Amino acid sequence: MTVTLVIGTQWGDEGKGKVVDYFSKDADYVVRYHGGNNAGHTIKVGDEVYKLHLIPSGVIQGKTGIIGSGVVLDPEILINEINELTKRGIKPKLLISDRTNIIMPYHKILDGAEEKYLGDKKIGTTKRGIGPCYSDKVARKGIRAIDLTDKKTLNKKLDHIIPIKQKILDVYKIDKKLDKKEILDAYSKYGEKLKDFIITTHVELNKAIKNGKNILLEGAQGTMLDVDYGTYPYTTSSHTIAGGSTIGAGIGPKYIDEIIGIVKAYTTRVGEGPLPTELLDKDGEYLQQKGHEFGTTTSRPRRCGWLDLVVLRHACMISGITKLAITKLDVLDSLKQVKICTHYQLNGKKIDYFPANIEDVKQCKPIYKEFKGWDEMDKNSSKFSDLPKEAQEYLNFIEKELQVPIAVVSIGPGRRETIEI
């Protein structure tokens, strides 16, 4: 039995879909435990490309996918994903926690309204209703998956919640009347469609652990979007670090055997907020174009920069990462020179930690170590020693600085373009 956790170490979009797909070879269960359809994971199998926002990536390999209680779930999106996969010949094996909070229409409207209200101070959210749904969960006004299967309870809850939401919409001057009956009917219908999937998933998972099954916990977003440890307030609303997985899946921390940190070979971020190693020059453009750095969920161009070890040290420390998976190394091919940020300069001092104050982060100037670039790498490389010597040096430096071994290097989107170390 092994429980393996895969998390992003940067600002999301590290290439988790491919790595999860890779590590789920031996898994019986693949679990999404936080976030919602703000995530977007791309998996390429042969010529087939799958883009998933909610369904755990491992279902493509026929694994049982679990949506844990820590997820915020948009049922309409989930049903569309199930239908889409079914049409493509994959009947997803799926279980949804009865405690999962549901994204309601007013959450989506409010996400947009709050962003509009914030103007140039906006967070740059995906506008999927993620933040407002998590806010309601903590304020104990959430609708949970189990409520969708019980129209009476749902009705009672909506009677209480909808007038409050209507007042908030009115304050934001949004010309929208929430129709309780319409919402009740639509969400009860979703409940009918999903009821066979909705169970007490933490009981199922703990039984699976006792029975020696292999479990893969699939993180979404990345460490720097964590609501406590990221670039707050420019973060998502959930815990993207390792600690979030045990809460969101409902298993004890002692069961986790490996924590794989996914590191894109450079840095990207979508939305607002500081990005200390951001490149606003031709190198940034090169990474954006070559790396196809456009959001899977919102198609927004991703901001690009050099690899940042201050961020990665922070991620390794908070999550106790045991192994690294480096992705998109090939995107750095053909650059004359590549750089890694080792420290920041803040108010004349060299620092090696990530400051809490967002205004300080904005002032941080990266201190770089420069590396000689390398030519196009051979996409058929199957061992570390097949990689260009300069690329090996780049990887060795990362490993030495973080003191965490690299287990996997990805050099292309396909399953075969993966080097095991």
Give residues in contact with ligand IMP (CB under 6 A).
11-13, 38-40, 123-126, 128, 130-131, 220-221, 225, 234, 236-237, 270-271
Which string of DSSP letters, residue by residue, matches 250-268? T--GGG--EEEEEEESSEE
Sign of CA dihedral 353, 357, 362, 365: negative
CB of 67 to ligand IMP, least distance (A): 16
Task: Give the H or E element holding residue 150.
Answer: none
Which residues, 6+ apart, have CB-to-CB distance to 244 below 8 Å?
Answer: 33, 34, 70, 219, 226, 238
User: Crossing angle for the helix pair 242-249 and 201-210, nearest 10 degrees?
Assistant: 110
CB of 77 to ligand IMP, least distance (A): 13
Q: CA 363, CA 338: separation in Å to the nearest integer? A: 23
Residue 408: CA count within 13 A, CB half-sphere: 25
Residue 270: which residues within 8 A CB-CB, separation 6 or more? 11, 12, 13, 124, 295, 298, 300, 301, 302, 303
From 13, 74, 308, 330, active-site residue = 13
Question: At 418, phi and psi to the nearest 5?
Answer: -135, 130
DSSP character at residue 384: G
Residue type, 126: T
- Nearest to ligand IMP of 65, 129 (CB atom): 129
CA 150 to chain centre: 31
- Is 13 one of the catalytic residues? yes
Work out how close the CB of 132 gets to ligand IMP at its nearest, in angstroms, rounded to a whole number: 9
For ligand IMP, the closer CB: 227 or 419? 227
Residue type, 81: E
Q: Which residue is at the shortest CB distance from ligand IMP?
A: 271
Nearer to ligand IMP, 244 or 271 (CB): 271
Radius of gyration, CA atoms only, the chain: 22
For ligand IMP, the closer of residues 124 and 413 by Cβ is 124
> Distance (Å, rounded) from C-alpha 218 to C-alpha 24?
9
For residue 298, the minimal CB distance to ligand IMP (Å) is: 7
Smallest distance, Å, CB 60 to ligand IMP?
18
Residue 22's SS3 state is helix
Residue 143 host element (H or E): none
Paired sense of beta strands 365-372 and 337-346, if any: antiparallel
Residues β-bridged to residue 303:
269
In the bound complex, what is the minimum distance in angstroms from residue 378's beta carbon to ligand IMP? Answer: 30
Complex with ligand IMP: residue 75 or 129, whichever CB lies closer = 129
Let me know: does 79 contact 194? Beta carbons within 8 Å: yes
Q: Report residue 120 as tokens.
A: 């140039």
To ligand IMP, the closest distance from the beta carbon of 25 in angstroms equals 23
Nearest residue (CB) to ligand IMP, 131 versus 250: 131
Instruction: Assess whether 41 carries a catalytic annotation.
Output: yes
Of 34, 41, 202, 239, which is the active-site residue? 41
Nearer to ligand IMP, 32 or 99 (CB): 32
Positions marked catalytic: 13, 41
